[in-house]
Amino acid sequence: MSTLLLADRPIRPVTRSGFEVRPFDAPLGAEVVGLDLAAPLSNDDFARLHRAHLDHHLLVFRDQDITPEQQIAFSRRFGPLQVHVLHQFQLKGHPEILVVSNIVENGQPIGLGDAGHYWHSDLSYKETPSLGSMLHAQELPAEGGDTLFANMHRAWDTLPAGLRKTVAGLKAEHSYLAKYEELRRRSPWRPKLSDAQIAEVKPVIHPVVRTHPETGRKALFVSEHFTTRVVGLPDDESRELLATLFAHSVVPEHVHRHRWEARDMVFWDNRSLMHLAAGCPEHLRRRMNRTTIEGDAPF
């Protein structure tokens, strides 16, 4: 494991032959300019992208005219891909891609229309949660549809000293089913899960504070969507502690809002960030293709 510690500080744009990395004036994120993801990527360029992803936690690639196969191939450069439990919303012929969409065709939703309704880190409810996710814009609404990202390294770094001491060493349960029935009652996007699907998403226990396996930085690793309880605490204390951590994680100083443009590809680090879908008017169509890269067991 690399022990390089990266501070959240302004990082100069990185310019070499090929493409440029332009950091946002925000708590996280950078735009990658001059790179076509449909073209072959050299090992040197891949290493630069990997470094930029670790530095900034989120990379935005504008105007990427790529196929599902190309998205899958690029995603696999970073690791094995995970298949989402909602197989109903896999892109036909490409189980690695989850369709995130509010579009209904022939009376049936074509994708997961309420994805990101609560702050979360993708697949934190798995024994090996996601390293990162890639979301490619296919169809965007005329208004709304933004995605918010929160820097969980900053959330840890700015936690009051007493609270840091309290949570260090604690563990928490994560469950995909935590808010599933609540979401089912609200919208048509959540199908009834089969017994086999429920067996795929058994609750897991992870540290409340995880260490990034590549940079060594610590980050809070709890979310309002999937974290159900702190292990070993009475229910009332657990709820109070989690509510405090949730609120602290998403203060404006930790958050960046991504405003989507046509054919954006956004790649974020689920070990470093949480995200939230801001939503859009129901009558406006939105469709994205998501790939999810498998990570390591948190420690």
Q: Is 17 exposed, middle or buried (0-12, 13-18, 19+ CB in 10 A)?
A: exposed
296 is catalytic: no
122 is catalytic: yes
Catalytic residue among 120, 154, 217, 271: 120
Whether 250 and 150 have beta carbons less than 8 Å apart is answered as yes
Catalytic residue among 48, 275, 286, 287: 275
Residues 121 and 226: their CA atoms lie apart, in Å, by: 8
Residues 107 and 13: their CA atoms lie apart, in Å, by: 48
Q: Dihedrals φ, ψ of 23, to 5°?
A: -65, 145
Catalytic residue among 55, 122, 264, 269: 122
| CA 299, 125, 259, 71 torsion-angle sign | positive
> Which residues, including other chains, have CB under 8 Å from residue 290's CB and lie 6 or more apart?
84, 97, 98, 99, 100, 115, 133, 134, 135, 136
120 is catalytic: yes
CA distances from 253 to 67, 177, 249 (A): 36, 30, 9
136 is catalytic: no
Whether 204 and 173 have beta carbons less than 8 Å apart is answered as yes
Tell me how crowded residue 51 is: count the other CB atoms within 10 A of its CB.
15
Q: Which helix (H) or strand (E) holds 22?
A: strand 20-23
Whether 272 and 57 have beta carbons less than 8 Å apart is answered as yes
List the catalytic residues.
120, 122, 275, 290
